[in-house]
Structure 1
Amino acid sequence: MHAGQIEVNEITGVWSFLLSIDWKDPWLIGLILLHVLTTSTALLTRNNTNFQVFLFLILLSIVYFSESINEYAAQNWKTFSKQQYFDGNGLFISTVFSIPILLNCMLLIGFWLYNSTQMMATLKTAQLKERARRERNSVADTPTTTRDVPLKEE
């Protein structure tokens, strides 16, 4: 047991669970850097929808296979970690691995919704301008047959 860590039976919530993790473990630092890199990539490619779709599908695939990753990591934790974090319920991998990935997926969906609303607004503006141009042209092309003097009734 390292200083600053708590016993597993003392974990009563998310905060106490996060405090029980040794964040100085090199593979956890790498995982955090991976999440930062993924978020940075999502932010930097916000105008490249095709790449974002690819990134989105990769991220969702990783989350889909997180149960298999958890099982593999539970069997081989001694090769890369100082402690066994990977339980059968998947609390650790869900909290530290899957949730940040899903938040990145939500960020990507937010970008897509924003881009689609901007595109719809641009399209509607162009439609209204085109309609106004057609109306101006149709008014200018039609001959005027109105009289300034009203007709007398008989």
Structure 2
Amino acid sequence: MADRHPQRCGARGRTNREAAPRGDRFRRLIDQGLNWVVVRYPQPNSTRRADGTSPVRLCVGCRQRASAGELSRVVASDSRLVVDERRRLPGRGAWLHPHPDCLAKAERRRAFPRALRVRGMLDTAGVRHYVERLAESKAGVDLPRPERTRKQVDPS
């Protein structure tokens, strides 16, 4: 009877006889005399999907569409804006070209509170510092400005 109805453990429903691969790895490391273990999972090098495309996002400053790799994610935290470099912070995010012009346009339009659905003004000093630091690091290289293209209307 025990073979027909093995006792289940864990959320994934593994039996006691089946060991989770990660658990075996930890157990093996602990047996070797390590007191603590830090496991770092590899980060993807790009934002490309399995089918070769990348997600498209809208910059809140210039309102241009661009791939997520070209834009920086910004999140509201305690009435201030924080640049989410790893794109893992919780909450609603807004996307911005890391260019001073796009930041100035977004501030002038008050686009951050609207995009993040937050009441009141947000402190943009952290984002401004990030954008300026990035502009200084690429001082010799011209930053590509997002180009404004006119939408073509079908005359028919």
TM-score normalised to structure 2 length: 0.25
Which one scores higher on RCO, CA 8 angstroms, separation ≥ 6? 1
Q: Which structure features the higher share of helix residues? A: 1
Flag the structure with higher strand content: 2
Larger C-alpha radius of gyration, 1 or 2? 1
- Tell me the TM-score normalised to structure 1 length: 0.25
